[in-house]
């Protein structure tokens, strides 16, 4: 079961990363570099692994849900910052 979850995490990340790769073939509005794909892959796989560790280590369902929600919120905030610079940090290129 452990390897099955890891495969699901990696495959989900690959499927998400295939979307901008395919979009780049049809439009010039999506312009990702190799660095963008690497960062996105690290973020997605890292988030998936952190959620997996949380599922294994935390026994109480309420704590588990709260921690996973917090992990996902952090992922989305980092993703938004890197994409459009909602906070104006140096990471977004501002």
Domain regions of the chain by residue span: 2-86
- Asked if 49 and 55 count as a contact pair (C-beta separation under 8 A), the reply is no
- Asked if 41 and 13 count as a contact pair (C-beta separation under 8 A), the reply is yes
Alpha helices by DSSP H, 31-89? 34-57, 61-84
Banded pLDDT at 75 (limits 50, 70, 90): very high
What pLDDT is recorded for position 20?
A: 95
The predicted model scores a pTM of 0.87
5 is written with which tokens? 């979850």
What pLDDT is recorded for position 66?
A: 97
Query: What is the three-state SS of 4-18?
Result: HHHHHHHHHHHHHHH
Banded pLDDT at 90 (limits 50, 70, 90): confident
Write the pLDDT tens digit of every residue in 6-36.
999 999 999 999 999 999 999 999 899 999 9
């Amino acid at each position: 079961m452990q390897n099955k979850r890891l495969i699901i995490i990696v495959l989900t990340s690959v499927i998400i990363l295939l979307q901008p790769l395919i979009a780049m073939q049809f439009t010039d509005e999506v312009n990702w570099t190799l660095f963008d794909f690497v960062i996105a892959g690290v973020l997605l796989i890292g988030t998936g692994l952190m959620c997996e560790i949380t599922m294994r280590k935390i026994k109480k369902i309420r704590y588990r849900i709260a921690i996973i929600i917090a992990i996902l919120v952090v992922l989305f905030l980092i993703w938004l910052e890197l994409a459009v610079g909602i906070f104006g940090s140096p990471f977004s290129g501002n």
